[in-house]
Chain A
């Protein structure tokens, strides 16, 4: 099988890799680019642990071929914090005890970030439906939803203050 050479941007940095044409972007990120914060829970798009952004859209990286990413911008959990500062969502997930085992956390954070970029003041129901593609087996989602709610509040306040 001939490898495909791909140039893309991951978390703002230019990357280049060669992968078999049938290799998933998830495997590329984890095994070739060493971004193991992107998790595999199912490999079939049913759990959301491998959530990333592809040109700003939320997707499961297990359902994207590495070969498709030529010229695309990829965002992973590793790109959430800026410098030494955690993203508000990251802070609130810790603060609100929104993780137990933590395996689903990277996917939830990426999905929640996309949600809050689209809707700065989501209702509880909107949060629950927006995060329905991310499975968590530990928390019953209670503290995750609360952490997203408090993040939204803090981020709205931050926006107001910076205006």
Chain B
């Protein structure tokens, strides 16, 4: 299927090459400094006391013994965080999640904090804090929490998005609906209708680096925060707001980040560390343990989803609908909304409706996890798509191609698509050698598609040219996976200089204007866009300096291949001036040469991927082995193909873990039973094969180089691709993720009767 694009391909000399990343040496020698690697003179150790109960009233906290312990410099509880939110419920939710206010809402909820001279003293102090709890009924399952009899998590929550507005409290925080057309009429036209319910369990981003920060806050209200984060500007704003500080007086520096995947977009302990520091008037280093990371940061939702799809014998879908129930932990979120928006985004549908319910439970507050909410919706939808194709006797890939969205399709969540990659990725799948590999006994193949919006957002960069012609590009997005290399390539491309001449620095909050959090696959897209504009800004200055040097009007100067060239016959005798030459003269031609850009990087191109997966299932144990895995995704333009492939492979691997083994296991007591890497089973090296990739480049017309975000989409199809593969291998439709060995064996045995 040919695809249209308004975009004219351009020639690149640097962009698209596989250069070595500029921070490589630091990261292979152990020199790179991550969250826990910074220290300050006189620093204290911060520790947090956490609720052992899923839901409990805190009737009393006695900190007197802890305060008297020698070496303890500060002890805090909820009452030490005055409400400065001015009635902003969202901010209050953040504050209450950082430190409980009279009620513990989940196993692991922070109830007190200490700062002491060393770890032993801090741990001892935690033991001396006496908390009196009165346990309350709890609920951790999303479907249970929606029942009228369920314990209410927050008595102030009224379901939004329903009319008439309810007057009583509910655990359903929000109902959202998307779609168009008339689904009843659509289903009436269908020859085949499949309807099925699915469940997915809660998973964690599983970044290897625990949350860590070093906080300093003086009595004058000036502070420093060194922290592993995806969004140091956002952290600054939130911490300043919660603690009553001037935004400009809190300088936040992003450390190297040891993985985030969405989990480091929210504050967890940072406001507490700052408050401890203010109380003690000494720096406080606060590093989470791994079990704290599992219990008290932001995993993704567990879900329960119903999908119904109807189609004609000719393979055309006539209607599709979904109801999606996502738990958001103990505080309201927008996760079901995102699930509802993404569920049918791959398809061109006349009649479509998706309804999302965001549900509160006694679990940690849900945070973003790589294309948040889309994988669960895709698992349900892409499973039913396969079932409909099977019912029609059609090849599942052909069926998808026949219904794929294209340029001009009105998306199920509202907008009309520009040039997009779903069709091309499916065509690539159809023609891929992977699809021709023979399958053996107990083996199955699955294909699935995925969509993610991508995001642009506020972005600010500085580009400064040194007197030797080397270039420093300062950006405000963090380098989560090689973006320094991509951004240096972009700056080198624009300026026409060597990649090695560019250094990229992640600026702290006081060196740049606001940058939105590095989320929504925006790092290379938005900072890349701002880098292009900043470089072009600098080129204007370079041209002016050259014009002044030559004594000709700037209009007669062009910038080509890294040098200023004088245009026109009258200037033929003027030899070009390189960036290096202009830079060397800059002290005498007007001073430093720089370019700047502040932009709201709108127009992030939507992203699509199609994945293929072959599995073998041991019918006696239910164990699944991934034999082959191939990712096809539209990157718009791959700036650094190695790191684009890396994103494809990493997302697929996370999806494989989610599909097969990863899950939060809660006991009847509402406590998390597997808060560690031994029993929360992320894939190890021997679990996986090489993950093949194919990059498609369908340029995003809204980006100067055609870039689309590439970071997230790759986690969307795997649950469904593996679900389809396992279902094909064992001959039973799998409807519950993770498809752990006991679940698969049970499904096989149930089918055998």
State if A and B touch, Cβ cutoff 8 Å. Answer: yes
- Would you call A152 an interface residue if the criterion is a C-beta within 8 Å of the partner chain's C-beta atoms? no
CA distance A81 to B257 in the complex (A): 23
* Contact call B20/A94, Cβ cutoff below 8 A: yes
Q: Which residues of A contact B677 (CB under 8 A)?
A: 41-42, 44, 46-47, 135
Which residues of A from 67 to 103 have beta carbons under 8 Å from B?
76-78, 80-81, 86, 89-90, 93-97, 99-103
- Would you call A49 an interface residue if the criterion is a C-beta within 8 Å of the partner chain's C-beta atoms? yes
Which residues of A from 95 to 151 have beta carbons under 8 Å from B?
95-97, 99-106, 109, 124-125, 127-129, 131-146
Q: Which residues of A contact B645 (CB under 8 A)?
A: 97, 142-143
CA distance A126 to B465 in the complex (A): 48
CB distance from B567 to the nearest CB of A (A): 41
* Contact call A137/B685, Cβ cutoff below 8 A: no
* Contact call A97/B482, Cβ cutoff below 8 A: yes
Query: Known: A42-B290, A77-B30. Contact between A140 and B649, CB under 8 A?
Result: yes
CA distance A93 to B686 in the complex (A): 19
CA distance A143 to B34 in the complex (A): 22
CB distance from B228 to the nearest CB of A (A): 9
Contact pick for B28, options A35, A86, A103, A140, CB 8 Å: A86
Stretch of B9-17, B203-211, B309-317, B440-448 on the interface side: B203-211
- Would you call B158 an interface residue if the criterion is a C-beta within 8 Å of the partner chain's C-beta atoms? no
Stretch of B354-362, B493-501, B589-597, B650-658 on the interface side: B650-658
- Would you call A1 an interface residue if the criterion is a C-beta within 8 Å of the partner chain's C-beta atoms? yes
- Would you call B569 an interface residue if the criterion is a C-beta within 8 Å of the partner chain's C-beta atoms? no
Contact pick for A135, options B36, B208, B646, CB 8 Å: B208
Contact pick for A97, options B205, B646, B652, B691, CB 8 Å: B646
CB distance from B199 to the nearest CB of A (A): 24
* Contact call A137/B652, Cβ cutoff below 8 A: no
- Would you call A56 an interface residue if the criterion is a C-beta within 8 Å of the partner chain's C-beta atoms? no
CB distance from B344 to the nearest CB of A (A): 28
CA distance A90 to B20 in the complex (A): 12
* Contact call B685/A103, Cβ cutoff below 8 A: no
Q: Which residues of A contact B206 (CB under 8 A)?
A: 137
CB distance from B198 to the nearest CB of A (A): 25
CA distance A43 to B649 in the complex (A): 27
* Contact call A141/B37, Cβ cutoff below 8 A: no
CB distance from A140 to the nearest CB of B (A): 3
User: Chain A: which residue is nearest B289 at the CB level?
Assistant: A43
Q: Which residues of A contact B289 (CB under 8 A)?
A: 43
Q: How many residues of A contact B (CB 8 A)?
A: 59
- Would you call B27 an interface residue if the criterion is a C-beta within 8 Å of the partner chain's C-beta atoms? yes
* Contact call B678/A102, Cβ cutoff below 8 A: no
* Contact call A46/B678, Cβ cutoff below 8 A: yes
Which residues of B from 631 to 673 have beta carbons under 8 Å from A?
642-643, 645-646, 649-650, 652-654
User: Chain B: which residue is nearest A87 at the CB level?
Assistant: B28
Q: Which residues of B contact A97 (CB under 8 A)?
A: 18, 21, 482, 642-643, 645-646
Q: Which residues of A contact B654 (CB under 8 A)?
A: 137, 140
- Would you call B156 an interface residue if the criterion is a C-beta within 8 Å of the partner chain's C-beta atoms? no
Q: Which residues of A contact B259 (CB under 8 A)?
A: 100-101, 103, 137-138
Which residues of B from 667 to 696 have beta carbons under 8 Å from A?
676-678, 682-686, 688, 690-691
Q: Which residues of B contact A30 (CB under 8 A)?
A: 36-37
* Contact call B649/A143, Cβ cutoff below 8 A: yes
* Contact call A41/B208, Cβ cutoff below 8 A: yes
Give 1 or 0 for each of B1-40: 1 = CB within 8 Å of chain A CB: 0000000000000000010110111011111111011000
Query: Known: A100-B480, A106-B30, A137-B650. Contact between A39 and B209, CB under 8 A?
Result: yes
* Contact call B682/A135, Cβ cutoff below 8 A: yes
Query: Known: A101-B258, A138-B646. Contact between A44 and B676, CB under 8 A?
Result: yes
* Contact call A37/B649, Cβ cutoff below 8 A: no
- Would you call A36 an interface residue if the criterion is a C-beta within 8 Å of the partner chain's C-beta atoms? yes
CA distance A97 to B641 in the complex (A): 10
Q: Which residues of A contact B481 (CB under 8 A)?
A: 100-101, 138
Query: Known: A46-B677, A86-B25, A94-B20. Contact between A39 and B258, CB under 8 A?
Result: yes
- Would you call A38 an interface residue if the criterion is a C-beta within 8 Å of the partner chain's C-beta atoms? yes
Q: Which residues of B contact A137 (CB under 8 A)?
A: 205-208, 259, 261, 650, 653-654, 682
User: Chain A: which residue is nearest B33 at the CB level?
Assistant: A36
- Would you call B120 an interface residue if the criterion is a C-beta within 8 Å of the partner chain's C-beta atoms? yes
Contact pick for A95, options B20, B23, B205, B480, CB 8 Å: B20
Which residues of B from 187 to 215 have beta carbons under 8 Å from A?
205-210
- Would you call B348 an interface residue if the criterion is a C-beta within 8 Å of the partner chain's C-beta atoms? no
* Contact call A44/B30, Cβ cutoff below 8 A: no
Which residues of B from 296 to 332 have beta carbons under 8 Å from A?
none
Count chain A CB atoms within 10 A of each CB in B33, B260, B682, B684 and give the residue with the most. B684
CA distance A77 to B32 in the complex (A): 12
Contact pick for B688, options A36, A43, A76, A140, CB 8 Å: A140
Q: Which residues of B contact A134 (CB under 8 A)?
A: 685
* Contact call B650/A138, Cβ cutoff below 8 A: yes
Q: Which residues of B contact A20 (CB under 8 A)?
A: 120
Q: Which residues of A contact B25 (CB under 8 A)?
A: 86, 90, 94
Q: Which residues of A contact B141 (CB under 8 A)?
A: none
CA distance A141 to B256 in the complex (A): 20
User: Chain B: which residue is nearest A45 at the CB level?
Assistant: B678
Which residues of B from 134 to 158 have beta carbons under 8 Å from A?
none
Q: Which residues of A contact B29 (CB under 8 A)?
A: 37, 77-78, 80-81, 86, 90
User: Chain B: which residue is nearest A41 at the CB level?
Assistant: B208
CB distance from B684 to the nearest CB of A (A): 4
CB distance from B602 to the nearest CB of A (A): 27
Query: Known: A97-B21, A104-B208. Contact between A40 and B28, CB under 8 A?
Result: no
User: Chain B: which residue is nearest A99 at the CB level?
Assistant: B27
CB distance from B582 to the nearest CB of A (A): 32
Q: Which residues of A contact B257 (CB under 8 A)?
A: 101
* Contact call A142/B649, Cβ cutoff below 8 A: yes
CA distance A143 to B685 in the complex (A): 11
* Contact call A44/B290, Cβ cutoff below 8 A: yes
* Contact call A143/B31, Cβ cutoff below 8 A: no
Give 1 or 0 for each of A15-52: 1 = CB within 8 Å of chain B CB: 00000100000000010000111111111101101000
Contact pick for B208, options A37, A47, A78, A109, CB 8 Å: A47
Q: Which residues of A contact B643 (CB under 8 A)?
A: 97, 100
CB distance from B629 to the nearest CB of A (A): 9
* Contact call A102/B256, Cβ cutoff below 8 A: yes
CA distance A101 to B210 in the complex (A): 13
Which residues of A pack against B, CB within 8 Å? 1, 20, 30, 35-44, 46-47, 49, 76-78, 80-81, 86, 89-90, 93-97, 99-106, 109, 124-125, 127-129, 131-146
Give 10 A-B contacts (CB < 8 Å), ordered by A residue.
A41-B208, A47-B208, A94-B24, A99-B28, A100-B482, A101-B480, A105-B28, A131-B686, A139-B649, A140-B683
Inter-chain pairs besides A35-B30, A101-B481, A137-B650, 6 sampled, C-beta below 8 Å = A40-B210, A41-B210, A94-B28, A97-B642, A101-B257, A139-B650
Closest 4 CB pairs of A and B: A37-B30, A103-B258, A140-B653, A102-B27
